[in-house]
């Protein structure tokens, strides 16, 4: 990438050269030959298209199963589930089979995250998909969170009003 000094003769792409402004400087580079049509039709990108198709099938399944994990889950757990899902899709398994296999994998991850809370006495019937099976504690709704926050603010305000230091010019107290 080169820096163009002075005013450029044009801005944009012409004759295989692109001129653009970046960071207060004019930059020059060769035009990128890669275009959407070439990626979608060329034989050299067939593998890319195949993997993109597998990922388009596997990613939503992995995301749905990932949401069933406890709140202490990490991005690496999603990546693990997505990798397994892609592998199952590559092997030719149906979406339902992939979902059941991913739920089994989620059970293993759930036991790794919270070994004491991963025990479940409910046995699903074949073909039944369980959602939120391993979530330890459901997050309160937005309304409930707002109510709790308002309650805490009322408590703090009442402590400020009752504080003996309020009259001494120290209106701030430590919020619990």
Binning pLDDT at 50, 70 and 90, where does residue 169 land?
very low
User: pLDDT by residue (tens digit) across 81-138?
Assistant: 999 999 999 999 999 999 999 999 998 898 888 654 544 555 556 655 555 444 444 4
**Whether the predicted pLDDT of 7 surpasses 90:** no
- Tell me what pLDDT residue 170 has: 44
The per-residue pLDDT of the chain, averaged, comes to: 79
The residue ranges of every structural domain in the chain are: 2-33, 39-113, 140-176
Find, among 1, 29, 4, the residue nearest to 15 by Cα.
Answer: 29
pTM: 0.52
48-79, pLDDT tens digit by residue? 999 999 999 999 999 999 998 888 889 999 99
């Amino acid at each position: 990438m080169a820096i163009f000094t002075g005013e450029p003769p044009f801005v944009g792409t012409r004759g295989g050269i692109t001129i653009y402004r970046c960071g207060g400087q004019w930059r020059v580079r060769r035009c990128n030959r890669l275009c959407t049509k070439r990626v979608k039709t060329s034989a050299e990108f067939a593998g890319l298209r195949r993997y993109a198709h597998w990922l388009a099938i596997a990613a939503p399944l992995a995301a749905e199963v990932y949401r069933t994990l406890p709140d202490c889950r990490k991005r690496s757990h999603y990546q693990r589930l997505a990798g397994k899902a892609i592998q199952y899709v590559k092997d030719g398994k149906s979406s339902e089979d992939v979902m059941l296999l991913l739920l089994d994998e989620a059970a293993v991850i759930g036991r790794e995250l919270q070994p004491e809370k991963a025990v479940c006495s409910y046995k699903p019937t074949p073909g039944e998909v369980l959602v939120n099976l391993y979530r330890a504690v459901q997050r309160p709704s937005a309304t409930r969170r707002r109510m709790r926050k308002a309650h805490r603010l009322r408590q703090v305000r009442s402590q400020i009003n009752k504080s003996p230091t309020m009259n001494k010019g120290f209106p701030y107290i430590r919020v619990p």
